[in-house]
Chains A and B, each alone.
Chain A
Amino acid sequence: MNAVPGAGASRRAVLALLFPIMLVNLIGFIVPMLNLGLLSFKEALTGGGIGEKFTLANWVTLVTDDFNRELLLNSVGVSLAITVAALVLSYPIALYIQRAEGLWRSILIVLVISPLLTSAVVRTYGWVVILSDQGGLPSLLNAIGLTAPRMIFNTTGVIVGLTEILMPYMIVSLLAGFGRLDPRLEEAAATLGASPIQSFWRVVFPLTLPGVALGCLLVFVLSVSSFITPKLLGGGRVFLLATEIYDQAIVTLNWPLAATLSILVLVLFGLVLVVYGRAVAALD
């Protein structure tokens, strides 16, 4: 490992080694993104055609069209709800795994990751079975005399399904961020007179914030961009950015608007990354 960046020959070697992946990124990512950006300023013709003229019309509709504004707010709102739900449900699990030892810990981690081995489509259909009107959960609620609210083909269904599907990412992120959590610290807090609850809020929770930030970033981004689950569990009645991009690109064949919405999502992710960077910097 003698390669010191900036040291003549070795710098050239580093660039040479980086060249293949830079080329792949250029062809596979940068050029298409630029293309997409370009497309968002093109005119959409009826029947799926793309006009030659440049126009700001697509971007103007984002602000003027109530539906498009609602799409953005809906997407952010639903994704935030999913992020919070996944965090609240995952945190105790992650904390328990963090404290488990040996084989039991390995088994738990495999159990957490194993849902990722199944396609999200299959898992979403699982939720359809559970949440649909004649499905498991409503039947159960009705059987014990409660009136089951509608839990599928609405926002509730999307939130329930995506929360479960994204929880493994949250748990793994939390575990990755729990590095500074030393059981001695809680013992020290106890000897100083902190009850278990005080010890959690004053010592454990602050030390897990890097993991919390990472998990929230990941789950938020994944839920904004996930499309299959909202499509299936939303039943065409929940309008989110990702599903709308699909509809515009595949159903309506309005590629310029789809491109505009895609760029909007990219900008949103950029903002989220800035917030995450600030949060992590503040934690250090």
Chain B
Amino acid sequence: MSLDAIGSVGGSHAPGEAGYLSIEALSKHHGAARSVDSLSLSIEKGELVALLGPSGCGKTTTLRMIAGLTPATSGRILVAGNEVTAVPTHKRDMGLVFQSYALFPHLTIAQNVAFGLEMRRLPRVEIRTRVAAALEMVHLSGREDRKPSQLSGGQQQRVALARALVIKPSILLLDEPLSNLDAKLRDEMRNEIRDIQTRLGITAVFVTHDQVEALAMCDKVAVMEAGRLSQVGTPEDVYERPANPFVASFVGRINRVAVEGRGNNAVAFQDQLFRTEHSVIGPATMMVRPHRVAIGTDDGARSGTANSLRGHVVRVTYVGDLLQYDVDIGGTSFMVEAATRGIAAAFRVRDAVRLEWQPADTLVFGAAP
């Protein structure tokens, strides 16, 4: 049996309209508190989009509103141009994979996967065929008659995925599906979920607080902070061109120093000018990713266009593939990461060093001139 038994998913949708899944000014208020505040997001058919943010930013609430499990205070949700905001969950035709898997403990694996098909009153033969195909897709053939409690966490996760996909939902929703798995399994499931999603061409929303997961798996990343969207873009966009310091610091480790904008692509820090590709005036924030900074001996020749700082090493952390240096630059700590190439190249604590990085890697946030 092959994937064809699962088939393509979702209804027809003409290109060129607003996204296949369209969220318009969606809000969820609890009294004065706003867990989701006027969130608008458009997702194209077949895209995998991450809702990324720290816990309590409203990403799970947003997902629950899309699924209809939490009523929206205001705003609209449209799927293929049809408003579903008031449609009850069981008529929304969305597959949801829960963080806790939420498998029915009293049913076998096959019965779990068949549940959605039985609700749709499909013929018995078709149910059997599609359940078998779905279990084969997640490599669980032969486990049909086990109970969920007899499977490992990773296997339960696969059953949850098969159960959500077998109904050919218009949209697949994933609520932190990998956070209960151990690190190695997580990488494996990450690729597997992405593969299946791409093969089926299903539109999917993936809620996570793990920026690596979001960047590695998704076509687009929507970064949320305190109920609002901070930035929506490709993984490269949010990593290389973050919209604000929050996004910059959330999608990876980054240095952050307060600087003075001088306009003309320059900022001042400790009476020294730094080149950047942004022009700002007045108090501003300069951010540089640790692995974009080169570390060298203090007497080393300075390359022409690079920004440069002198300091001394206060801490060296060896993490196998990386050496992480904390460098003191006149009272401020600066993180630098270097790939390990044998132990000889490593600097030691109290070594005087020169840090260099390119203007293109110098992110600056502040008031425009």
Which of A's residues lie within 8 Å of B, judged by CB?
180, 182, 184-185, 187-196, 198-199, 202-203, 206-207, 283
Contacts and interface: CB of A to CB of B under 8 A. Distances in A.
Contacts of B67: 187, 191
B104 A190 contact: no
Contacts of A180: 105-106
Interface in B91-117: 91-96, 98, 100, 102-106, 115-116
B105 A194 contact: no
B115 A191 contact: no
A190 B68 CA distance: 9
B183 to A, nearest CB: 24
Contact of A191 (B103, B106, B164): B164
The A interface is mostly helix, strand or loop, or mixed, namely helix
B90 A187 contact: no
B98 A184 contact: yes
Given A184-B98, A198-B119, A202-B115, A190 B69 contact: yes
Given A193-B119, A194-B119, A188 B104 contact: yes
B116 A193 contact: yes
A24 B169 CA distance: 64
Nearest to B169: A191
A202 B167 CA distance: 17
Candidate in A182, A192, A193, A198 with the most chain B CB atoms within 10 angstroms: A192
A222 B116 CA distance: 42
Nearest to B96: A191
Interface of B: 67-69, 88-96, 98, 100, 102-106, 115-116, 119-120, 163-164, 167, 173
B115 A206 contact: no
A206 B167 CA distance: 23
Nearest to A190: B89
Contacts of A185: 102, 104-105
5 contacts: A182-B100, A188-B96, A193-B119, A198-B90, A198-B119
A189 B68 CA distance: 13
B102 A184 contact: yes
Contacts of A198: 90, 119
B102 A192 contact: no
A231 B104 CA distance: 46
Given A188-B96, A190-B69, A195 B90 contact: yes
A252 B181 CA distance: 71
Contacts of B116: 192-193
A199 B69 CA distance: 14
A190 B116 CA distance: 9
A200 to B, nearest CB: 12
Given A182-B100, A198-B90, 13 more contacts: A185-B105, A187-B67, A188-B96, A188-B98, A190-B90, A191-B95, A192-B116, A192-B167, A193-B119, A193-B120, A194-B115, A196-B90, A202-B115
A193 B93 contact: yes
Contacts of A195: 90
Contacts of A191: 67, 69, 89-90, 92, 94-96, 164, 173
